[in-house]
Copies of this chain bind each other. A is one copy, B any other.
Amino acid sequence: MNASRSPVRQSSVRAHNLALVLQTVANSADRPSRAAISAATGLTRATVSALVDDLIAGSLLTELDPAPRTGAGRPAAGLALTPDGPGGLGLEINVDYLGACVADLTGEVRHRFVTRADQRLLPPAAALAALRELAAQASAAAAADGIELAGAALAVPGLVAPGGLVRVAPNLGWQDVDVPALLGLDLPLTVDNEANLAALGELGAGDGTPTFLYVSGEIGIGAGIVLDGELYRGGRGWSGEIGHVTVYPDGRPCRCGADGCLEQYAGQEAVAADPELAASALGIALSAVVNLLDLGVIVLGGGYAPEFDRLRDGIDAELRRRVLTAGLAPVALRPATLGADAAMRGAAGVVIGAVRDDPASWLARPQAV
C-alpha cells in the first residue's frame, strides 16, 4: 500500500480507474473490447462501460472494428487510443542539433523538424529563440492535424534543477539558464536531462523491458536509470552521471577536475582512438552500476549504438569478471533501437505519458473556448 500523504475521495477512485482503463488499452497489443478490459482489470463490465464512455467523450479512446474473433455472440467493439486526441511536443537542444517533434496519444511521431547547427557558438537566448521557431512550426503542424498539445518537454545535455533551470550544460557552455522563461512557450514545459529522456524514449520503443540502464555516449557520457518503467531521477534530480565515475583513480585528468573519469576513456574521441580501452573502461564503470543497482539489462545508445559490435565483447568480459551476481543472473547488453531522435521522442513521450497516467486531469482541464 502506497500511503502517500494525500486523502482519497471517490473522485480519486474514478481518476485511478480511468487511468487503469486507458493504460490497459495502451498496453494491449490488439484492440480490446470493454469486456476484455473488464477481465484484465477486475472492474465490472458496467464500470468499464461508464469509464470508456468518458474516455471516448474526451477523445482519448475511439471505437474501431473489433479484433477478429471466432465463435458465437455479439461482436465486440474494439477500443484504441485516438490519434486525434491530445499530443505531446518533444524538444531537444544539443551541441550540433536542434529538434522538435509531435507525437500523438498512440506514441506515433506525426511531425519532426530538425535544424543542424552548432549551438556552442550561440548565447543561450539565441539558441532558444531558434528552438521556439521550430516549436511554433511543430505546433502549427499539430493544429492542422487536429491535435491539441497537452504540453512540451525539452531535452538538454546538462544538469537540470527543479523549475527547468539548467544549472550546467558543459558541452553547450551554459550555466544557470532559465530555460522556461527564455523559451516562452504557451504550454506547460518540462525540462530534463538528455540521457534521462532518451532512456524513456527507448522504454517506449523497446521490447518492453521495464528495468534497464540506458547509456548515451556522445561527447559526454550520460545514463538514464529506468526502474519498473519509471525514470529514477536520484535524490536531487542529478542521477546517472556515469561519465564521471572513476575508472582509473590516478588516470587521465578530466575537465571536471578529477582524474580517471570514464569520459576520458570512453568518450567519443576515445572510442575512435582505442575501442578496446573504451570497452574495458566502460565495462568497469558498468560493473559498478550493476553491483550497486542490480540492473539486468544495459542499453547502449547515442554514439555507442553504431559501435556496438566493436564494444560488446570488451564490456562483457569486464561485467562477467567484476559483477558479483554475474554467476547468478546474467547482464544483457543491447544496442539502442532509436537513433539520434531518442531524446526528442522520449520528451514527447513524457508529455503523452502524463496524459495516459492521469486522464482525469486532462479531461477536467480548463477548456479553451
- The interface of chain A, by Cβ under 8 A from chain B, is 1-10, 12-13, 15-17, 19-20, 23, 41-43, 159, 167-168, 211, 223, 225, 227, 232-249, 256-258, 261, 284-285, 287-289, 291-297, 321-325, 328-329, 357-358, 360-361
Contact = CB atoms under 8 A, between A and B. Distances in A.
A117 to B, nearest CB: 27
A290 to B, nearest CB: 9
Nearest to A211: B235
Contact of A1 (B240, B289, B358): B358
A246 B245 CA distance: 11
Contact of A246 (B13, B167, B287, B360): B287
Contacts of A322: 244, 246, 258, 261
Contacts of A7: 17, 20, 41-43
A289 B8 CA distance: 37
Given A10-B10, A225-B292, A239-B293, 8 more contacts: A2-B4, A7-B17, A9-B13, A10-B13, A234-B295, A239-B294, A244-B322, A245-B292
Contacts of A245: 287-288, 291-292
Contacts of A19: 1, 3
A284 B235 contact: no
A237 B322 CA distance: 18
11 contacts: A2-B2, A7-B17, A7-B20, A8-B16, A236-B294, A238-B294, A241-B325, A242-B292, A244-B324, A246-B288, A258-B321
B3 A241 contact: no
Contact of A13 (B12, B233, B235, B325): B12
B292 A292 contact: yes
Pairs A-B, 8 closest by C-beta atoms: A234-B294, A3-B19, A1-B358, A238-B294, A241-B291, A244-B324, A258-B322, A211-B235
A294 B16 CA distance: 31
Contact of A328 (B15, B167, B246, B256): B167
Contact of A292 (B223, B247, B287): B223
A234 B284 contact: no
A10 B11 CA distance: 10
A92 to B, nearest CB: 22
Given A7-B20, A246-B288, A246-B322, A357 B294 contact: no
Nearest to A40: B5
Nearest to A263: B324
Contact of A5 (B10, B20, B227, B293): B20
Question: Which of A8, A15, A232: most chain B CB closer than 10 A?
Answer: A8
A355 to B, nearest CB: 11
Nearest to A294: B234
B43 A23 contact: no
Given A13-B9, A236-B329, A321-B257, A292 B241 contact: yes
A289 B287 contact: no
A38 to B, nearest CB: 10
A245 B167 CA distance: 29
A51 to B, nearest CB: 10
A16 B3 contact: yes
A167 B325 CA distance: 10
Contacts of A292: 223, 225, 239-242, 245, 288-289, 292-293
